[in-house]
Amino acid sequence: MTLRQLRCLCEVIDARFNLSLAARALHLSQPGVSRYLKMLESELGVPLFVKAKNRFTRLTPAGQAIADVARRTLRELETIPAVARDHREGDAGSLVIATNPGHARYSLPAVMERFIKRHPRVRVRIRQGDSSQVSEWVQGGEAELFISTGPTEPNPELALFPCQAIHPVVLAPARHPLTLKRRVTLHDLCACPIITYDTEFAFHRNIMRTFHGARLRPDILLSASDAEIMKIYARAGLGIAIVAHSAYDKTLDRGLRAIDASHLFNSTVLHVGLRRNVYLTRHLIAFLQLFAPHLKLEDVRRAIAG
């Protein structure tokens, strides 16, 4: 039994049982593919394919069972070059993180500082995009992981790990009436012009759902994609900003007060997303341990493999 035979088996299945197609994909001639399949079948002593007339039509149960093992095995083999590369690069190497601008700006810097201090030779790249973009980058291998909230629908190619809850806070200028309240209500918020994220943000949809659920129509004065912008307008007294709590820094944002709103709105969960069936480089593991220390490596591996 050779790897070529197994690759052949899998490729023929992927080519919907067209040997010519599979041959092209494998950089082989059609007779070559035919031979390999025949060899494999005769070596295993069991037919793998059902042939109608002179065409391959589908797998036998044996073929299905064996193709499953073959696929798993080939996938695993493909990680070997990745392992080698990881070690070849020593403490260098690269790490591409895909994340939303907000998290790149607020959640990541503290972690990145520590990571870079510990792994100075790793070239880190932070790609910014919306939830669906970052997810596509990871699926396509353009990024090792993404850090994103957003309603990432279940995807068999990706493994998601919840990391932290992002809850909304209300930002208002220092002596704004709301800052005097012990506990603000949705009605209180609706009394003021509101500044928040653009409609395409999950955060926006999240808070709007809550308002509408309470049959309220908030006055969205301004929406933006960048919390810094919102803070400027809020500081100027044009309205109150509803932003992710991570966007507020007590010392940096002196002119603003943060008012807890976690009792009003649902929190969203920040997820780390990895592509399944990939080799976890040492740098990726190191980064995960810094960014999401609660994740157990073994659990991550299991989720990646399953």
Partner DNA sequence: CGTGATTACGTTTATCGTAATTATA
Partner DNA sequence: TATAATTACGATAAACGTAATCACG
| Footprint of its own copies (CB under 8 A) | 1-3, 44-46, 60-62, 65-66, 69-70, 72-73, 76-77, 79-81, 83-88
Residue 29, binding choice from DNA, its own copies, none, Cβ under 5 to 8 Å by partner class: DNA
Give kind and range of the element (H or E) at residue 227. Answer: helix 227-235
CA 51 to mean position of chain CA atoms = 42
Of 264, 151, 174, 26, the closest CA to residue 36 belongs to: 26
**Residue of the chain from 1, 42, 55, 141 that contacts DNA (CB under 7 A):** 55
DSSP 8-state assignment for residue 182: S
Using CB under 7 A as the binding rule, whether residue 189 contacts DNA is answered as no
Residue 37, binding choice from DNA, its own copies, none, Cβ under 5 to 8 Å by partner class: DNA
Interface with DNA by CB under 7 A: which range of 29-37, 139-147, 184-192, 203-211? Answer: 29-37
Residue 1, binding choice from its own copies, DNA, none, Cβ under 5 to 8 Å by partner class: its own copies
Q: Residue 174 corresponds to which amino acid?
A: A
**Residue of the chain from 1, 3, 14, 31 that contacts DNA (CB under 7 A):** 31
To DNA, the closest distance from the beta carbon of 25 in angstroms equals 12
Q: CA dihedral defined by 76, 21, 5, 44, rounded to 10 degrees? A: 110
Using CB under 7 A as the binding rule, whether residue 40 contacts DNA is answered as no
Using CB under 7 A as the binding rule, whether residue 2 contacts DNA is answered as yes
| CB distance 290 to 116 below 8 Å | no
Angle at 249 between CA 248 and CA 250, to 5 degrees: 115
Question: In terms of CB distance, is 73 or 262 closer to its own copies?
Answer: 73
Q: At what angle do helices 3-14 and 30-44 cross, to 10 degrees?
A: 110
Using CB under 7 A as the binding rule, whether residue 38 contacts DNA is answered as yes
Question: In terms of CB distance, is 31 or 109 closer to DNA?
Answer: 31
**Residue of the chain from 1, 20, 94, 118 that contacts DNA (CB under 7 A):** 20
Residue 255, binding choice from its own copies, DNA, none, Cβ under 5 to 8 Å by partner class: none
Residue 85, binding choice from DNA, its own copies, none, Cβ under 5 to 8 Å by partner class: its own copies
CA-to-CA separations, 210 to 153, 189, 304, in angstroms, rounded = 21, 12, 35
Using CB under 7 A as the binding rule, whether residue 53 contacts DNA is answered as yes
State the number of binding residues for DNA (CB under 7 A): 21
To DNA, the closest distance from the beta carbon of 268 in angstroms equals 49
Question: In terms of CB distance, is 67 or 111 closer to its own copies?
Answer: 67
CA 21 to mean position of chain CA atoms = 33
To its own copies, the closest distance from the beta carbon of 267 in angstroms equals 33
For 262-280, give the DSSP string.
Answer: TTTS--EEEEEEEETT---
How far is 89 from 104, CA to CA, in rounded Å?
A: 26
CA-to-CA separations, 67 to 57, 61, 179, 231, 305, in angstroms, rounded = 15, 10, 64, 57, 17
Residues interacting with DNA, by CB under 7 A?
Answer: 2, 4, 17-20, 27-32, 34-35, 37-38, 51, 53-56
